[in-house]
């Protein structure tokens, strides 16, 4: 059985961490795993990544860091992603992990021209998504939890862009048969997203957003969660509810 790595690319603000634990915890809880069943590597603290191998299945988390800051730990992880991609190691990047994978494999990342995309919004699949093993079960449009100030501006040349939201045309990118990433957060719960909106309230208001309306729009996102579940089910031969 492949071993599940959760590559933690940052830590949550204290107001979230005291209620919901930290970034890696959100993933293994969403998957129904115990902490002892995963290996968490905190690259932002300088922890080393293992030699890439198809014996591993890796999830690269979101972060409050920015890919364009080119922090040494982030560049180290980007190089590791390139090596993992070369040996067909299963990888799923989420939010920061999505952007870092795109950057590492030849794409471009940058800020939105105005504000951020934060809330529960519709994601629309591209026609070719119907042939993707992780996406073919999904409806053409589904809701997902989003929280990001930066985005993929240009996908790598050989990658396939499989989904878009109203503000971001690169919501899902497929790089190879074993590597995929999502800008949306399949691991988020409604409570976590609402709390994230609360702690970002001042910035959102300054950007012209109505925070209470954004909170009212938050709903369960089982279709988005199923992408995470199916990724693990595909590369780890053990029962996973999808």
Task: Look at residue 154 and give its three-state secondary structure.
Answer: strand
Residues whose CB falls within 8 Å of the CB of residue 206, separated by 6 or more in sequence, listed in order: none
Based on the residue annotation, tell me whether 185 is a catalytic residue of this protein. yes
Place of tokens 């026609």: 127
The count of other CB atoms within 10 Å of the CB of residue 113 is 6
The count of other CB atoms within 10 Å of the CB of residue 66 is 17
Based on the residue annotation, tell me whether 120 is a catalytic residue of this protein. no
Strands (E) located in the chain:
3-8, 38-42, 56-60, 91-94, 108-111, 117-125, 141-148, 150-154, 160-164, 172-174, 179-182
Tell me whether residue 9 is exposed, middle or buried, using C-beta atoms within 10 angstroms of its C-beta: 0 to 12, 13 to 18, 19 or more: buried
Task: Please pick, among 8, 57, 95, 117, the residue that the annotation labels catalytic.
Answer: 95
Measured CA to CA, the distance from residue 161 to residue 155 in angstroms comes to: 7
Task: Please pick, among 8, 117, 170, 187, the residue that the annotation labels catalytic.
Answer: 187
Task: Please pick, among 145, 170, 185, 209, the residue that the annotation labels catalytic.
Answer: 185
Based on the residue annotation, tell me whether 57 is a catalytic residue of this protein. no
The count of other CB atoms within 10 Å of the CB of residue 159 is 22
Measured CA to CA, the distance from residue 125 to residue 138 in angstroms comes to: 9
Chain Cα centroid distance, residue 76: 19
Q: Which residues carry out catalysis? A: 95, 185, 187
């Amino acid at each position: 059985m492949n071993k599940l790595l959760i590559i933690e690319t940052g830590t949550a603000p204290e107001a979230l961490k005291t209620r919901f634990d930290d970034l890696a915890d959100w993933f293994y809880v969403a998957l129904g795993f115990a902490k002892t069943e995963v290996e968490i590597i905190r690259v932002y603290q300088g922890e080393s990544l293992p030699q890439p191998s198809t014996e591993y299945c890796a999830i690269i988390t979101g972060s409050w860091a920015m890919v364009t800051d080119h922090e040494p730990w982030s560049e180290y992880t980007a190089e590791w992603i390139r090596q993992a991609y070369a040996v067909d190691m299963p990888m799923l990047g989420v939010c920061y992990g999505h952007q870092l994978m795109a950057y590492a494999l030849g794409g471009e990342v940058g800020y939105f021209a105005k504000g951020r995309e934060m809330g529960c919004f519709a994601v629309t699949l591209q026609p070719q998504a119907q042939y993707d093993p992780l996406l073919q079960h999904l409806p053409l449009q589904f809701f997902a939890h989003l929280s990001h100030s930066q985005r993929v501006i240009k996908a790598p040349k050989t990658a396939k862009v499989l989904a878009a939201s109203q503000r971001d045309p690169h919501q899902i990118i497929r790089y190879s048969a074993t590597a995929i990433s999502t800008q949306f957060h399949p691991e988020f719960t409604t409570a976590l997203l609402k709390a994230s909106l609360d702690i970002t309230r001042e910035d959102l208001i300054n950007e012209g957003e109505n925070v209470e309306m954004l909170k009212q729009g938050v709903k369960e996102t089982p279709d988005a969660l199923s992408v995470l579940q199916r990724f693990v089910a595909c590369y780890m031969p053990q029962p996973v509810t999808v």
